[in-house]
Amino acid sequence: MADTNFDVVVIGGGPGGYVAAIRAAQLGLKACVVEREYLGGICLNWGCIPTKALLRSAEVGHLIQHAGDFGWSAENISFDLGKIVQRSRKVAKQLSQGVSFLLKKNKVPVVSGSGKLAGKGKVEVTDKDGKTSTLSAKNIILATGARARVLPGLEPDGKLIWTYREAMVPESLPKSMIVVGSGAIGIEFASFYNDLGVEVTVVEVVDRILSAEDEEISALAHKAFEKAGIWIMTSAKVTGVKKAKDSLTATIELADGKTESLTADRLISAVGIVGNVEELGLEGTKVRVERGHIEADGFGATGEPGVWAIGDLTGAPWLAHKASHEGILAVETIAGVKGLHPLDPASIPGCTYARPQVASVGLSEAKAKAAGRKVRVGRFPFMGNGKAIALGDPEGLVKTVFDADTGELLGAHMIGAEVTELIQGFGIAKSLETTEEDLMHTVFPHPTLSEMMHESVLDAYDRALHF
């Protein structure tokens, strides 16, 4: 490229990086993106988006299987795994091309290759042929994301032991599967494959699944997934794997020290992620790396002046929407925008797109109490909501946690149909610092699932009108 001097160079074109570059361009800064593989990053190409396409196909299949409940009949039901995967990849490709269009529209050039710091204000880019070039920038934003964590003995081989990548593009459907890890990634794959008829066992090392969620919601999720046919083993650890030609046998250590053997066709390792901090040229800088992630403040600044870090690279929560917001905050700080507030992790919604869905924002009941808060808790079941019953999805719960002294909304937790779409309402409420009175005097439309949000607030203050 002819011009190699910029105000901002972003290393990584994922949902944090490309958003940061576009916002920089909007603010009149000269920006550039360095990307070694796919625009849109893991989220768009191998994570958030394609998995939702897969889960949508599974949801359609579930509805067809229960067509009789809605007055329809369907016979000789079958699915084409290849077409399911093909649709998922097509969705990812379409959106990746959309990112490319947006960058071009905002006049942000993309340099293909791997970028690393090469001295103050310098980025060295190595392309796929090994050729290097140097870019100059007053500010450099590291947005290189993360990769799947690998446990000793569970190293992915692409055939019997899968990461999320292999799990998204199966050539054939296994009859049985072990999913190690019950965070959002593990549970979503467990739900998808279970809906396709695979015999799924989830193995979780701690004492409950979805451990980041409120304990009550986690317990309801456990029951719902077992009812759907998923076998769940908590307080259990895979200590070894013996491979055969087209299957494997896992040795699982239980809480009491006893072991069990479980044979399955495939195993998905979903035990978390680790930041891509290697080969970034951090040596000799003041950038601090702690437990595989770069330390950055609430605006993305690292210990090295002019070097910023955002997204999965900086640690939990590992969410695309967090990365995008961090990218905007970093760029607006660079541009001198006034009145900015540092990122508040407690206001970032988390979503699991399984069947049923799980969503939350803020503190759980237990964490609120552990923080010394006196709380009021409200609950409203899906069974009491007309829209949920009409949809044929009457199982679930909306739970709210308030500060008993101030009325501050501390957290909201949901399980059930479409809760990943509902949670943003409580996210807005937290951002606006609304109280219970504000929420109780908000008029919710009827009949909608969102009414349960209102009823949950009313229940926290002994004013519930229904159920």
Cα–Cα distance between 414 and 263 in angstroms, integer? 34
Half-sphere exposure of residue 287, counting CA atoms within 13 Å on the CB side? 28
Q: What angle do CA 388, 393, 395 make, to 5 degrees?
A: 95
Q: What angle do CA 266, 269, 270 make, to 5 degrees?
A: 135
Name the DSSP class of 272.
Answer: -
Give the CA dihedral 356, 362, 367, 373, nearest 10 degrees.
-130
Whether the CA torsion 444, 383, 62, 318 is positive or negative: it is positive
Is residue 162 a contact partner of residue 266, using CB atoms and an 8 Å limit? yes
Active site residues: 446
Name the burial class of residue 23, with classes exposed (0-12), middle (13-18) and buried (19+) by CB atoms within 10 angstroms of its CB.
buried
Query: Helix or strand or coil: residue 439?
Result: helix
- CA-based nearest residue to 416, from 450, 372, 365: 450
Q: Quickly list H helices, 251-391.
A: 320-334, 365-370, 386-391
Q: Token pair for residue 251?
A: 């040795």
Which residues is 232 bridged to in the sheet?
202
Name the burial class of residue 75, with classes exposed (0-12), middle (13-18) and buried (19+) by CB atoms within 10 angstroms of its CB.
exposed
| CA 67 to the chain's CA centroid | 31
Which residues is 110 bridged to in the sheet?
33
Cα–Cα distance between 458 and 438 in angstroms, integer? 11
Which residues is 290 bridged to in the sheet?
293
Which residues is 252 bridged to in the sheet?
238, 260
At residue 377, what is the residue type? V
